[in-house]
Each structure stands twice: as structure tokens, then as C-alpha cells.
């Protein structure tokens, strides 16, 4: 593996520990490998991780955004709670990657990435986003996750709007909370109202009306 990828993976791991805390299986190693699609898998026998980087990641910005996205999964994969909801997990992974790429000095790439997704004409609300991973082919799972066409842009914009309300520090707590009620309880009243409206939680938390 080239030195650039090794350096980025180390930096991304350190950032994820800073933002989300140590993983439950901190003693397990991870290895960066090349493969057909981006993804993070865990060896069921050893508990070690393999982070796959696809060949189209050939410049530093693409490498950084992919590695940090997958490093979020390595750090949070064994946690229980909100990060087990598929769209939440992917929203947080995308937000992590954007923060990391911005932190290492490639803010122009982040702006380009956000502009591209902000141009999407259809943004799905949270209740229409998939909560579990569904596969076209169980044996080829990483290559065959079944997603709505608008999924990626929807989680990018939703994560951006959520962070604009509560800030990055509160966003990071999502990966540490078991329920929305637990996470929302730590917010100010004003933020509770806005977050419940954005996430469609009005019925679950009527004490925080719009």
C-alpha cells in the first residue's frame, strides 16, 4: 500500500478516536487493501478489519474521503444504538469524511462535493430512508447494496442541515447514543424543536412542538 494511503489512514483513525471515542474492540487491527468497491469488513474469526479502497481513488482527495468514511465504520461498527440504523450510520460516515478532508486542508474538495449533492432535485425525508442494509445478492454483499437513487444526496443534505442546527460536537454524540430520546435530551430546547421537525420525530416527542 502506498505511503499516502498509510498516512491518511493513520490520521483518519486518530480523528475518529477524537470525535467518537475508542471502539469497543480497540485491540483489533485494521488493514487497508485495494479492491473493487469501498467498504469495511470484519473477520469473524479474528475480529480484525479490512478497509477496501477502490482503484478509482487515485488522487489524495478521493483517497482521504474514502478512507475516513470507512474508518468511521471501523471505529463504530461494534457499537449498539443509533449507528445501527443504516441511514444514520451512512450519514455520520459521510459527515466524518467531509470533516476529515477539510481538516487536512482540502476544503475546496469539500465545497465541490457539497455543491454537487446540493444540486440534487429530490431529497428524501428520514422516514423514507432505509434503516437496514438490503442486498441484491447476499454472496456479493458489498457490491449489491440496494439503495434509492437519491440516497447519497439525501444523507449528505440531511447531515449538513442537522450539523447547522446542533454543531459537530453534538453530531458526534449520535454515534454514542442508543436512542433518539437519549441524544435529544442533551440538546437545548430550541435545538430539540428544530431537530424533531427535521427528523420527523414530532409524534414521538410531542413535548417539543414545532
Q: Where are the alpha helices (DSSP H) in the chain?
A: 3-20, 60-76, 86-103, 107-118, 151-166, 168-173, 180-184, 189-199
Q: Domains along the chain?
A: 3-178 (1.10.390.10)
In percent, the amount of the chain with pLDDT more than 90 equals 71
pLDDT at residue 179 above 60?
A: yes
- pLDDT per residue as tens digits for the range 74-120: 999 999 999 999 999 999 999 999 999 999 999 999 999 998 888 87
- pLDDT per residue as tens digits for the range 17-72: 999 999 999 999 999 998 888 999 999 999 999 999 998 888 999 999 999 999 99
The distance in angstroms from the start CA to the end CA of the chain is 51
Which grid cell sits at 203? Answer: 409524534
Rounded to an integer, what distance in angstroms lies between the CA atom of residue 155 and that of residue 93?
10
- More confidently predicted of 103 and 205: 103
β-sheet bridge partners, residue 53? 34
Rounded to an integer, what distance in angstroms lies between the CA atom of residue 134 and that of residue 111?
31
Rounded to an integer, what distance in angstroms lies between the CA atom of residue 120 and that of residue 118?
5
Amino acid at each position: 500500500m502506498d505511503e499516502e494511503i498509510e498516512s491518511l489512514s493513520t490520521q483518519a483513525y486518530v480523528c475518529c478516536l477524537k470525535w467518537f471515542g475508542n471502539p469497543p474492540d480497540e485491540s483489533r487491527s485494521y488493514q487497508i487493501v485495494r479492491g473493487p468497491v469501498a467498504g469495511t469488513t470484519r473477520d469473524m474469526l479474528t475480529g480484525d478489519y479490512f478497509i477496501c479502497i477502490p482503484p478509482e481513488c487515485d488522487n489524495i482527495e478521493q483517497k482521504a474521503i474514502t478512507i475516513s468514511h470507512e474508518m468511521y465504520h471501523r471505529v463504530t461498527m461494534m457499537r449498539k444504538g443509533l449507528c445501527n440504523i443504516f441511514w444514520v450510520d451512512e450519514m455520520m460516515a459521510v459527515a466524518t469524511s467531509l470533516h476529515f478532508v477539510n481538516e487536512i486542508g482540502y476544503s475546496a474538495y469539500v465545497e465541490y462535493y457539497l455543491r454537487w449533492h446540493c444540486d440534487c432535485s429530490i431529497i428524501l425525508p428520514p422516514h423514507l430512508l432505509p434503516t437496514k442494509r438490503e442486498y441484491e445478492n447476499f454472496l456479493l454483499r458489498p457490491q449489491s447494496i440496494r439503495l434509492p437513487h437519491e440516497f447519497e444526496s439525501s444523507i449528505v443534505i440531511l447531515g449538513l442541515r442537522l450539523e447547522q442546527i446542533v454543531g459537530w460536537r453534538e453530531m458526534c454524540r449520535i454515534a454514542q447514543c442508543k436512542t433518539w430520546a437519549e441524544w435529544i435530551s442533551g440538546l437545548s430546547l430550541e435545538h430539540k424543536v428544530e431537530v424533531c421537525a427535521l427528523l420527523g420525530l414530532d409524534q414521538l416527542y410531542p413535548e417539543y412542538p414545532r
